[in-house]
């Protein structure tokens, strides 16, 4: 499963770490670029803005 996380303080960053360990893909954004870089080093996909985060999420076709 792929998730987007906005806000990488103590709680958000730890949630992303647990999700990555569980095999999930995480696209992350925070106002502090150092927080993004730290999680990218641990396997997350970094985003430079909220718009960039949304663009990096995988698109799934809607079922009808």
pLDDT tens, position by position, 3-61 = 999 999 999 999 999 999 999 999 999 999 999 999 999 999 999 999 999 999 998 87
Structural tokens at position 25: 């893909």
Q: Domain residues for 35?
A: 2-56
Query: What is the token pair recorded at 45?
Result: 């996909």
In-domain check, residue 61: no
Tell which residue, 41, 49, 56, 47, has the closest CA to residue 28: 47
Write the DSSP symbol of residue 25: E
64 falls within a domain: no
Residue 35 is assigned to a structural domain of this protein: yes
- Asked whether residue 14 is domain-assigned, the answer is yes
- Answer with the residue of higher pLDDT: 62 or 29: 29
Q: Please tell me the predicted confidence (pLDDT) of residue 64.
A: 64
The domain total for the chain is 1
Task: Output the domain CATH number for residue 35.
Answer: 3.40.50.720
Q: Is the pLDDT of residue 62 over 80?
A: no
Count of CB atoms situated within 10 Å of the CB of 59: 6
Model pTM score: 0.90
Contact status, residue 57 vs residue 28, Cβ threshold 8 Å: no
């Amino acid at each position: 499963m792929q998730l987007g996380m906005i806000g990488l303080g103590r709680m958000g960053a730890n949630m992303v770490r647990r999700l990555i360990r569980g095999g999930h893909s995480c696209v992350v954004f925070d106002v502090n670029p150092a927080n993004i870089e730290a999680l990218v080093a641990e396997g997350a996909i970094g985003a430079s803005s909220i718009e960039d985060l949304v663009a990096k999420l995988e698109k799934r076709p809607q079922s009808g």
